[in-house]
Structure 1
Amino acid sequence: MAREIQVTFDCDDPAALASFWADALGYRIQEPPPGFDTWDAALAAMGIPPERRNDASALIDPDGSGPRIFFQRVPEGKTAKNRVHLDVRAAPGLTGDERMAALEESCTRLVALGARRIERYEPAPPLQGGHIVLTDPEGNEFCLD
Structure 2
Amino acid sequence: SRQQQFGKLLKQLPLKSRPILVPLSQPCSDAQLNSVEKQQTLLNSFGFELQPMENAVIIKKIPIALAQLDLKSVVYAVITAVTKDNIDAESLGLYLSELLQTSDTILPQQAEEWLKSVTLSECIEKPWCRELDLATLGSLFSD
TM-score (normalised: structure 2):
0.26
For the pair shown, the structure with the greater C-alpha radius of gyration is 2
Tell me which protein shows more helix as a share of its residues.
2
